[in-house]
Amino acid sequence: MMVEIKTLPVEVELVLDVMPCQAMRRGYDGAPKSHACAHFAEWGVLHSYDYGKAGPPPEPGIVQPSIYAGKRPVIPEILSGCRKAPILAVGINPNLPGWQERDRNAIHPYFDDYLQYAHYFRWRARDKLRIPQKKYEELLGDRPDGPSVGDPLVDKGSDIEVERMPVKMYEQYQTLLDGLATAMGWVEHKLAVGEDLAYANMVACGGARWTTTLPEGGEHMPLMGKERGRAIIKECFELRAHFPRQLLQSLPAAVIVFSQATADAFIQRLGRHFIQGDPLPGEKLATLLKREFRMKLGTRSDGEVIDTRVIFSPHASANPEQFTEARDAIIAHLKQEADGGKIDLNLDTGHLRRPRGGCQFCENAIYSIGACDYRDELQPLSLADAGPLADAARSTPTAERAEHLRLLDDFMRPEPSAVVPGDVVALDAAAPSAPRLVLHGMIATMRQGGGAVIEDGALFLHAGRIVAVGRRGDAAPAGFGSVAPIETNGVIFPGLADLHNHLAYNILSLWFPKPVTQNRSQWLSNRDYKSKVGKVMDVVANRQDLLRALIRYVEAKLLIGGVTSGQGMVTKYGGKTLFQGLVRNFEQPGDPKLAAIRHRVPDLKQQDFQSFRTALESGAQMLFHLAEGTNQRARDQFKMLVDNDFVKPNLVGVHSLGLTAADIQALVAAGAGIVWSPFSNSLLYGSTLDPHVLVQSQVGFALGSDWTPSGSRNILCEMKIAALAAEAAGAPITAERLAQAVTRDAMQLVGWQDSLGTIEPDKYADLTVVTRRAGANAFESLLKATEADIQLVVVAGHARFGDRALMRAAVLDPNELEDLQVGARAKAINLDHPSSPLKGLSLAKATSALEAALADLPAARDAALFEPQDDSPRIEIELDLAEVEAEASAEAADFVALAEILLPQSVPLDPLTVIDDAGFWAKLDGIEHLPGYLKGANGLKKFYVP
């Protein structure tokens, strides 16, 4: 537990809390298993020193008369420099000079005195310390040295000569300050690292690398591992909150986040606090550097919002060339803050003005390490204080501390989500526990070129990845000798992708407009739609228990349809992890190798241009509902994109129904792509994209089932609709081409092709196995497959759904399986996931809850008033068509507010499958404007009913 002193300033409390942290953990933990933070001791012992005299040195600086303190583990670090420096540089954890052979003469502080510790970290700026090389060699002689050698260089307590050891990283910090001064014309400045730019780390303890996994060539390094990494983050960043406490005490005007690894960690942990720029986990530094980011630090008691500019930068010493290229852009960001008055030069001191908030780090009631050079300009954060803090007696530590802790509580309050990612870099938590599996069957690798289909293949999986792909009888990779193969007798595909969906609505059954419409606004303003879709979802969205049931149901529906990666899983705030786990989420993959996509549903208006341009410039794939309809209004959206230079390689046009052949060719020329949703197009607008244009233009396209109110129940159904549309048009879109559209091509459209979309060694183990049909090739077997033909679905190496016998053979614990029937075939689903907050909620229970609510909607609505108050995280799903519906209604000539629309007494729950929905065919045949090729015994039905 951290020290709890009611009147101690936060900046002083950190000294008392951080300095002994590792010593306490290693020395007093009596548990059978050592504390995770003991990992840092595994980096060994390095040369250490102490000051020669007790107490803080009388003069500033880190070069002081020193004595040798032996070989010691390195102590944890607090912020280096002035606590109120207006610019804060951030890394993951401190580096470790002396661990590498090139700088064995490095020497680290090992103080027993808190005042010396505080003094050192106040005055450490551009240098660390070392023993002069010649002196070090003289003292060492021919003895070995290194972190595994405990022999001291000299006797403990002996005088030791030390000198400054320039640190490239810190020197590069100075170039930023000098560049800012030049850009602003500040001739008489004294800007310096340690005074105007301080630096801190997200974790206090040091290591040569952050080794949740060992880097290439780093086999000799101590492995932290993901489990200990999560525990370290929880201890240091969350429970003790070392970095957040310092951040909210410093309240810097600008934060510079150095390195891709730190950027990923920073965004992953603090992304919800960004109020401008919307950085994405895994987004590359080159794109992050192009945008303006602001992060909210809190709100003062008087309502003033405190924010900071966040700048992402390459690592200044590890990647010096990248940093040099980026330096001007970083300085330009800082200059913008200076131009806006957030960063300002104090002509009296020659340094930057200190940000709001008090500071008693140098002088306080407990100790003094020297006078504060900026005391006259400090303004208290607490409203209980008034005026500058020049007179220490006028400040009220209790009030200032209370304000700090209030900000900290608000800042650290968990997002309404039951699971906070534990590792600095979030990965699929289930993957490491995935068992060794060997699958036999026909393998449709979906690779380009020859050998794409292996007739009698063997697939080896472990820990969430594909280990090897071969033929039955090939020698098994190491570790698989005793693993019994699972005979699928099916066709093994890469996991299927559904690239267009609105999953929150997928509890609702088929709805269609009468008559057919020409653009989205027409059916969205329809009274019947508002009643049977809008009002119903209003009820569900206001019930926390129903939201959890909804998420469980729609994710299971994806799995049963063979989907391993889905689009349209979005929450307004909180609950993000509810849509993570069983199926990969294109919007929030939680994996640095899988870049998150962006999506936009509403039509683009002039006021949206800047935010849309920013989104495109981020480099993330942008899925935009483009030209959804058949009239000129729909096509005008494409013209708007062209006129504003928005047709970019990372644009993916969802629907694109209103585009001409020339428009689609323009997309191809720009490297953009399309998501085709033929069923929804046909049901809402009476037609779909011309399949001939898709073929002739060679546009990259994927398929999306859209949503159940007007689209396919799953991607298997959508493939069949696409095949029927192509057949009716006489267009040569083969079963193989459609298989590509839901595997390889889909992953290429979103930029995930390096990890998913084909079956190849070292790719993620996401697979869909379908029944091998007599007389059909691999791709025809997939096209003809119904939900009953889904033999096995594997996500991150875990079997999630499939034939009951295969599932029992493939899972770690058969007792975790939930049995169900699909098309009269015995199936099982595995909903167990280590990081899922829905753990324990079965599909049967979720189904029952939804059926009951939809059977009596007025009662379900009224029950929301009496929801129990418990500790469960509150969530809000994003009904991404609600905004578009509101716009459409406002434009309609016969505008009717949603409040005036009657809530139906009941609506049916949309079934999980097509194969088990006997009433589906009559409903389909009753839609007058639906193309004839979809109806009757020779339409869609022929795939499902013998």
Residue 23 has pLDDT above 70, yes or no: no
For the cut 60, the answer to whether the pLDDT of residue 722 exceeds it is yes
Compute the Cα dihedral for 401, 403, 404, 406 and give only its sign.
Answer: positive
- For the cut 90, the answer to whether the pLDDT of residue 877 exceeds it is no
Contact residues for 705 (Cβ-Cβ < 8 A; gap 6+):
498, 500, 501, 677, 679, 680, 711, 712, 713, 714, 715, 717, 718
pLDDT tens digits along 25-52: 554 455 556 788 888 889 999 999 999 9
Closest CA to 552 of 585, 504, 520: 504
Here the tokens at position 567 are: 């689009």
Q: Please report the pLDDT score of residue 237 as a whole number.
A: 84
pLDDT digits (tens, 9 = 90+) for 638-668: 999 999 999 999 999 999 999 999 999 999 9
pLDDT tens sequence across 382-423: 755 444 444 443 445 677 888 888 898 888 876 543 333 333
Percent of the chain with pLDDT over 90: 61
pLDDT at position 220 over 90: no
Q: Cβ contacts of residue 5 below 8 Å, gap of 6+?
A: 13
In the three-class reduction of DSSP (H, G, I as helix; E, B as strand; rest coil), residue 149 is classed as: coil
Token duo for residue 750: 């979103």
Choose between 391 and 57: higher pLDDT: 57
State mean pLDDT over 754-779.
97
Residue 198 has a pLDDT of: 95
880-898 residues labelled b (16+ CB within 10 A) or e (exposed): bbbebbbbbbeeeeeeeee
pLDDT over 90 (residue 768): yes
Top-ranked range on mean pLDDT: pick from 109-113, 532-536, 781-785: 781-785
Paired residues of 294 in beta bridges: 276, 309
d(CA 398, CA 654): 56
pLDDT at 22: 67
Q: What are the residues whose beta carbons fall under 8 Å from the beta carbon of 857, sequence distance 6 or more?
A: 535, 536, 539, 903, 904, 905, 906, 907
Record: fold of 10-412 = Uracil-DNA Glycosylase, subunit E (3.40.470)
Task: Say if CB 436 and CB 480 are below 8 A apart.
Answer: yes
pLDDT band of 869, cuts 50, 70, 90: very low
- pLDDT at position 28: 47
pLDDT over 70 at 200, yes or no: yes
pLDDT at 572 over 60: no
Q: β-strands 127-130, 106-109: how paired?
A: antiparallel
Instruction: Name the pLDDT band for 362 (thresholds 50, 70, 90).
Output: very high
The percent of residues in the chain predicted with pLDDT above 70, rounded, is: 89
Distance of alpha carbon 656 from alpha carbon 673, whole angstroms: 10
Is the pLDDT at 427 greater than 50? The verdict is no
Backbone angles phi, psi at 839, to 5 degrees: -55, 130
- Strand (E) or helix (H) holding 320: helix 320-339
pLDDT at 576 over 50: no
What confidence score (pLDDT) does residue 544 get?
77
Bridging pattern class, strands 790-795 and 798-803: antiparallel
* Domain residue ranges in the chain: 10-412, 496-934
55 residue type, one letter: G
Distance (Å, whole) CA 75 – CA 831? 44
> Which CATH class for the 496-934 domain?
alpha beta
Note the pLDDT tens digit of each residue in 234-273. 888 888 889 999 999 999 999 999 988 888 788 878 888 9
Looking at the whole model, is its pTM more than 0.85?
Answer: no
Residue 697 pLDDT level (bands cut at 50, 70, 90): very high
